[in-house]
Amino acid sequence: GESVGLHLPTLSVQEGDNSIINCAYSNSASDYFIWYKQESGKGPQFIIDIRSNMDKRQGQRVTVLLNKTVKHLSLQIAATQPGDSAVYFCAENNQGAQKLVFGQGTRLTINP
């Protein structure tokens, strides 16, 4: 069935360094991908999205890369700050199914 998974459950980086969070998806029919950030006690918050007709999209301090050949998605956070500490989820959507499927999440910890 559909599944979206993340390679690492936890990631620890130094403040100021760049962070890279990876995600693998299995449904080749998925055509829309989103990264969410979830802080403790809160609902997931939209960070950035990308459609399958693109391979890269940039936002403020964040970049999402999509490699459809190997079904891989990554989120890059530049100059990581303490406020970036959270669990990050990738999600995929098949427009035909119109359901968002989430992966397991990666907990990002920032070391001072």
Contacts of 65 (CB under 8 A, 6+ apart): 55, 56, 73, 74, 76
The CA–CA distances, whole Å, from 44 to 34, 88, 105, 112 equal: 11, 9, 11, 25
Q: Does 93 engage in binding with other proteins (CB under 8 A)? A: yes
Q: Does 19 engage in binding with other proteins (CB under 8 A)? A: no
Q: Does 54 engage in binding with other proteins (CB under 8 A)? A: no
Query: Alpha-carbon distance 23 to 89, whole Å?
Result: 9
Q: Which is nearer to other proteins, 49 or 72 (CB)?
A: 49
User: For other proteins, which residue of 45, 67, 81, 111 counts as binding (CB under 8 A)?
Assistant: 45
User: For other proteins, which residue of 11, 91, 108, 110 counts as binding (CB under 8 A)?
Assistant: 91
Q: Give ∠ CA 15-20-22 in degrees, rounded to 5.
A: 145
Q: Does 52 engage in binding with other proteins (CB under 8 A)? A: no
Eight-class DSSP state of 102: E
Interface residues with other proteins (CB under 8 A) are 1-2, 32, 34, 36, 41-46, 49, 87, 89, 91, 93, 95, 98-105, 107
